[in-house]
Amino acid sequence: MKYGKTLRLVGLALLLTALTGCDSWKSDTDFAHAVWSDDDTKVAFVKRSFKKKKNFTHYITKDYSLELFVANPDGSDAIQLAGKRIGSVKDIFFMNEAGYIILGRGLAASESSGTQSQTIIYEKISLDGTVEQIGKVTGNIMVSCDGGSSSTGTTPPLRVIPSRDGETLAMVESVTECASNEMTLTFLDAETLEPISDTMDVDTEMIGEGGGTGIAYLSFLTMSWTPEGAFVVSKAFGMGELLVGLKFEVDGAQGEWVDSLTMDCMQVATSSGATSTDGTEVNIEDDGTLSFGANDMFLGCH
């Protein structure tokens, strides 16, 4: 009887293991988020460290940290900047001509009844490794209005995007609740990080008109600097290839409504991204190998 009981207990333990996907957490690393510099002469990427474990057919991960590197396009002369930083990547903009990288990273998110909040940090990292924090905001990245039965993605609580010439930073802060959103835009001097404009309201209700009820449309907002030096917040879906949104001039006081934005111009946020000006896309494999291919879909306008 005792032997049979032992077998039943072992069988139950194995069943629970199968049902829960139980496995131990293991440390791992990979490489990700390769981007071109604004002058197409260098690349930046991160080495990610994290913990993972098997959960049925896939891995779940946690405890991310990252190390930022710059290198030649062939991977040579790779240099690590600023040491290991906690969190996962939100944005990387490599402004080589201006001598800095903008790194956005998010700390581990927390959840309550389907709504997820996260602390997001943006830093200016000079090419000599000097780090200056631009902003740090905690806010909702997913919002549930039905107690967790469903959730909707939001515009990130914080984004910092450099102008195409690297001289100006657009700092966008967003507060999203179940049925409301408030968004502001402030232009900063990229060298001093001091404001060079008043903080301006971004009328997301106007941009999202026709996008449906509630805050669902907010996950589709996109932001980009134009070649002429204006900053645009737009609705990333619409009729045909035209988008609508608000355009802000650095020396302006409020946004100007525009309804003829072309899709290609809004595909890239600034002059640094995964695709170079000639349409060459950079990718990085998990082992750190850089590869390249043609991708004019996200070429943008120049």
Closest CA to 157 of 106, 92, 112: 106
Mean pLDDT, the chain, integer: 86
Q: State how far the Cα of 183 lies from the Cα of 157, in Å rounded to an integer.
A: 9
Write the pLDDT tens digit of every residue in 245-302: 899 999 877 899 888 777 776 778 999 999 998 889 999 999 999 999 987 665 555 4
pLDDT for the residue 300: 55
Nearest Cα residue to 150 out of 174, 176, 182, 178: 178
How much of the chain, in percent, has pLDDT values that exceed 70?
83
pLDDT value at residue 301: 55
- Residue 211 has a pLDDT of 40
3-state secondary structure the chain: CHHHHHHHHHHHHHHHHHHHCCCCCEEEEEEEEEEEECCCCCEEEEEEEEEEEEECCEEEEEEEEEEEEEECCCCCCCEEEEEEEECEEEEEEEECCCCEEEEEEECCCEEECCEEEEEEEEEEEECCCCEEEEEEEEEEEEECCCCCCCCEECCCCEEEEECCCCCEEEEEEEEECCCCEEEEEEEEECCCCCECCCCEEECHHHHCCCCCCCCHHHHHEEEEECCCCCEEEEECCCCCCEEEEEEECCCCCCCEEEEEEEHHHHCCCCCCCCECCCCEEEEECCCCCEEEEECHHHCCCC
User: In the prediction, which pLDDT does 221 show?
Assistant: 80
Q: Specify the pLDDT at position 241.
A: 59
In 3D space, the residue among 231, 232, 270 whose CA is nearest the CA of residue 95 turns out to be: 270
Burial of 61 (0-12, 13-18, 19+ CB in 10 A): middle
pTM: 0.88
User: Digits of tens for pLDDT over the chain (302 positions)?
Assistant: 454 554 454 444 444 454 445 579 999 999 999 999 999 999 999 999 999 998 878 889 999 999 999 999 999 999 999 899 999 999 999 999 999 999 999 999 999 999 999 999 999 999 999 999 999 999 999 999 888 898 888 889 999 999 999 999 999 999 988 878 899 999 999 999 999 999 999 998 888 753 444 455 566 688 999 888 999 998 765 445 567 889 999 987 789 988 877 777 677 899 999 999 888 999 999 999 999 998 766 555 54
Q: What is the pLDDT of residues 88-116, one digit of tens each?
A: 999 999 999 999 999 999 999 999 999 99
Query: Left if phi > 0, otherwise alpha if psi is -120 to 50, otherwise beta: which for 109?
Result: beta
Distance CA 106, CA 154 (A): 14
* Distance in angstroms (rounded) separating the CA atoms of residues 92 and 113: 31
